[in-house]
Amino acid sequence: MIATPSLSHREIAACMARGASALLGGQLVTGEIATHRDTEIGKVYTPSPFMSALAHDALACLDPRSPHHSEPGVLTGNDRHTVAWSLGAVRRRIRRFLIAQEEADGTWCFYGRGSALGPDAATTACAALAVARRSGRPDDPDRWQRHARALARFRTPAGPHFTFVAGDAGYSSIAADGRKIGGFDRIVNAHVMRFLAAAGDDDDGLAAYLEAEVTEGDRGRGSLHHPDPACFAHAVARAWTETPARDARAIAGSLLPWLLARQDDQGGFGGPLSTALAALALVDLGYAGDALDRASHYLLATASRTGEWPHEPYLSGGHGSAAFTTAFALAALARATAVRGGVA
């Protein structure tokens, strides 16, 4: 294994402050975190409440008003103020964007309100969680139940949820020729499980489906919409950690050895986004070893001078952005250093 050079707490803090400022400065006036996808003419802006909701969740660990705030311990003085103020503002603006994108029936569409694609379970689960957990405000039980009822449209009797529903038929995706493809997306279902747990509606059938995917499925793949296998590890680890009735050890025994074996000599798990997702999964699964230090070194080494990380696809079709990667990289640095007490 190649040794990584030592980096000081000051370097980590300065990088995080630069990244937080870059995120705030690049946020769209609507509050959305801009994302792009690949087309025949290159990358084009593609609106997506789903992607903004995921970024909102990732940044919760750096928002002092969030119940999921996790003080990394390396931020002091001006850097601490910059990160807290900037990312608190970013998350408030994302919530305003998501509230404006909600459909009348309590669902959300991947491409935004009124999209011809229709509502989907993943966007609904992630956006609903963001707006229901508004920082500094009391819970609204009616809102939680409204979104839980909306998600019930996607559920099958056995527990797993379809990604989309049209009439009485559910499906996981749409082929290039317009055909509706059946089946389930395991990452979509992990997002749904997490929302239901927060709403106090643990689902045995859904949990059994996901546990089988972890222990018996192919961990080396993501899903049709999420080709990076780190997406699955991140989503399912997050869901299990936040489901009180579930023992994370049940999946940690399968996921941890597989994740750790994927780390390369530079400390990465692929690109910066894959590395951030893997590091966050490790923390959620209770890991606190030096693989987190190596991942932090890798993230610091791949940040630009402005504290941003490059575009790396999260979804098929090249869908992602530098801002999206940056949100997860900042979260991974924060949570890894909170666990490790700083990078050696």
**pLDDT tens-digit readout, 117-166:** 899 999 999 999 999 876 445 567 788 899 999 999 999 999 999 999 98
Tell me which residue has tokens 């080396």. 220
Helix%, strand%, coil% for the chain, nearest 5 = 50, 5, 40
CB 259 within 8 A of CB 310: no
CB 184 within 8 A of CB 163: yes
Residue 278 is inside which H or E element, if any? helix 272-284
What DSSP line would sit under 113-134, residue for residue? TT-TT-B-HHHHHHHHHHHHT-
The CA distance from 19 to 25, in Å, is: 10
User: What pLDDT sits at residue 73?
Assistant: 75
Q: Which residues in 190-226 are b (16+ Cβ under 10 Å) and which e?
A: bbbbbbbbbbeeebeebbebbbebbeeeebeebbbbb
What is the number of domains present in the chain? 1
The CA distance from 182 to 306, in Å, is: 44
Q: Rounding to the nearest 10 degrees, give the CA dihedral for residues 165, 168, 172, 177.
A: -90
Structural domain includes residue 2:
no
Structural domain includes residue 1:
no
Nearest to 191, CA basis, from 130, 142, 245, 270:
130
Is 12 in a helix, a strand, or coil? helix
The domain that holds 209 is classified in CATH as 1.50.10.20
The CA distance from 186 to 76, in Å, is: 40
Structural domain includes residue 111:
yes
Q: Please state, as a whole number, how many other Cβ atoms lie within 10 Å of the Cβ of residue 8.
A: 11
User: What pLDDT sits at residue 10?
Assistant: 85
Structural domain includes residue 323:
yes
Structural domain includes residue 17:
yes
Which whole-number Å values give the CA distances from 335 to 198, 215, 255, in the listed order?
A: 21, 26, 19
Q: Please state, as a whole number, how many other Cβ atoms lie within 10 Å of the Cβ of residue 157.
A: 6
Sign of the CA dihedral running 17, 18, 20, 25: positive
Tell me which residue has tokens 């995917």. 213
Nearest to 122, CA basis, from 104, 109, 132, 138:
109
Question: Could you list the residue range(s) of the whole structural domain that residue 188 is in?
Answer: 9-339
Which whole-number Å values give the CA distances from 25 to 19, 29, 31, 304, 331, in the listed order?
A: 10, 10, 11, 15, 18
Structural domain includes residue 344:
no
Query: pLDDT tens digit string along 160-205?
Result: 999 999 877 888 888 777 788 888 999 999 999 999 999 988 899 9
Structural domain includes residue 108:
yes
User: What pLDDT sits at residue 3?
Assistant: 42
User: What pLDDT sits at residue 2?
Assistant: 42
CB 336 within 8 A of CB 291: no
Structural domain includes residue 3:
no
The CA distance from 16 to 319, in Å, is: 24
CB 231 within 8 A of CB 262: no
CB 218 within 8 A of CB 212: no
Ranges in the chain, pLDDT < 50:
1-6, 135-136, 343-344
